[in-house]
Structure 1
Amino acid sequence: MEDLRQDEYVIFKNIQANWLRKFEGVGGKLYLTNQRLIFVPHGLNIQTDWVQMELWGMAKIEKHQTLGIIPNGIKITMESGEVVKFIVWNRSKIIREIIYAKRTDDIILK
């Protein structure tokens, strides 16, 4: 993971996840800081791009069902309209942590 910014700290790290990028599930790990959510892919993937989302730019964070039936997804809609989906274990806890971090970030920014 890249260096942390000034006043940034890690809330959780190394959460196994798959980023649903079009038709491919890119395996990697999620990191949540007090400022952003970062996905770092494993080196064995064809697509090796990192994804980082600023907490302040998230408009909606919700549960998502993979293939319409498997309850293991997180769907994040950004203020820009971009939608990012991840497959994770224990999604309710992860969603709670993201929402809590986002609220804390929003309070600090105001």
Structure 2
Amino acid sequence: MENVVKKGMANLWKGKEAVGGKLYLTSQQLTHEAHKMNIKKEKVEINLSDIDRLEFYTNKVLGIPLMKNGLKVVDKENQQYKFVVNKRETWKDEIEALLEN
């Protein structure tokens, strides 16, 4: 893996399962590595050059929108990756800064 610009704990929604793990941002990609205890353990790598847009979303608790910790990454083929992260604004800002370079 290249030099890590930012890393943190993150869940990645795969269907109805929130796959816990770590999210890494490098100058070239965004990578989610699942914890070993998850059922779905595949590493997800998104090249920054493939990202079309970043959006915020609100996670629901018992169907009620409460948790403002969602960051959605949409690639140029319209595939969506929904992450649950701390300080989503910081993640978005840092990804966008790399996209501008």
Normalised by the length of structure 1, the TM-score is: 0.84
The 10-residue stretch of structure 1 (25-34 or 63-72) with the greater mean CA deviation from structure 2: 63-72
Among candidates 3, 11, 16, match of residue 5 of structure 2:
11
**In the alignment, what sits opposite 1:72?**
69
- 8 Å contact 1:35–1:102 — kept in the other structure? no
Shift of 1:101: 1.1
Task: Judging by fraction of residues, say which structure has more strand.
Answer: 2
Is residue 2:79 matched to residue 1:82? yes
Q: Which runs of 5+ in 1 are unaligned?
A: 105-110
Q: Which has the higher helix share?
A: 1
Q: Tell me the matched-pair count.
A: 97
TM-score of the superposed pair, with normalisation by structure 2: 0.91
1:67-103 deviations in Å (ceiling 9; x for gaps)? 2432110001100110000001110001101111111
Q: Which runs of 5+ in 2 are unaligned?
A: none
The root-mean-square deviation of aligned C-alpha atoms, in Å, is 1.0
Instruction: Tell me if 1:60 matches 2:57.
Output: no
Check the 8 A contact 1:76/1:85 in 2, yes or no: yes
| Segments ≥4 residues shifted beyond 6 Å | none
Deviation readout 1:12-70 (Å, 9 max, x if unpaired):
12x00000111000000000000100000000100000101010110010111112432
State percent identity of aligned pairs: 31
